[in-house]
Amino acid sequence: MTYFAKITFGIVEDVIGADQDFIDTGLVGNPSAWVETSYNTRGGIYYLPDTNTPGSDQSLALRANYAGIGYTYDAINDVFYAPQPYPSWIISAPTWEWQAPVPYPSTGGPYTWDEATQSWVA
C-alpha cells in the first residue's frame, strides 16, 4: 500500500492509503497537495515491514518519517517531522526527530521532561 499526506501550508492535514493513479484523478483535491510518505520510515531509517529491523536497502527510506496529521512537511529538505514537543527542543537532521537540550539519562528511569527546569525528572 502506498500512503500519501495532504499538505496545506507545510502542515499535514490528512494521510490516506491510495494508488498514485487515484491521487492523480483529483478526486481528493489538487494532486500537487499530496506527498508520498512511507509507513516503514522513521528517524531517517527504513525498517522491514511490521518489524523494528532496519532494511538492507536504505534507499527505501522516504522523507525521514512517516507523516502524521499535524506533522510538518519541510519541502526544502523533503522530510516530515512531528510537532515540537517542548519549546526548548530542537529538530535534528538526519533523523528529523526532536532532541532535548539535555540527553536522556542512561541509567534509572523512567524519566519525563520538565520544561521549567530544563531537566529529566524520575
- Tell me the one-letter amino acid at 73: Y
Q: Confidence class of residue 109 from pLDDT cuts 50, 70 and 90?
A: confident
pLDDT of the residue at 24: 98
pLDDT of the residue at 122: 92
pLDDT of the residue at 92: 96
pLDDT surpasses 90 at 35: yes
List the grid coordinates of 75: 519541502
Average pLDDT over residues 62-73: 98
How far is Cα 95 from Cα 79, in angstroms, rounded to an integer? Answer: 10
Cβ-contact 83, 111 below 8 angstroms: no
pLDDT of the residue at 16: 98
pLDDT surpasses 90 at 1: no
Cβ-contact 5, 67 below 8 angstroms: yes
Side-chain half-sphere of 80: how many Cα atoms within 13 Å?
28
Q: Confidence class of residue 118 from pLDDT cuts 50, 70 and 90?
A: very high
Cβ-contact 2, 20 below 8 angstroms: yes
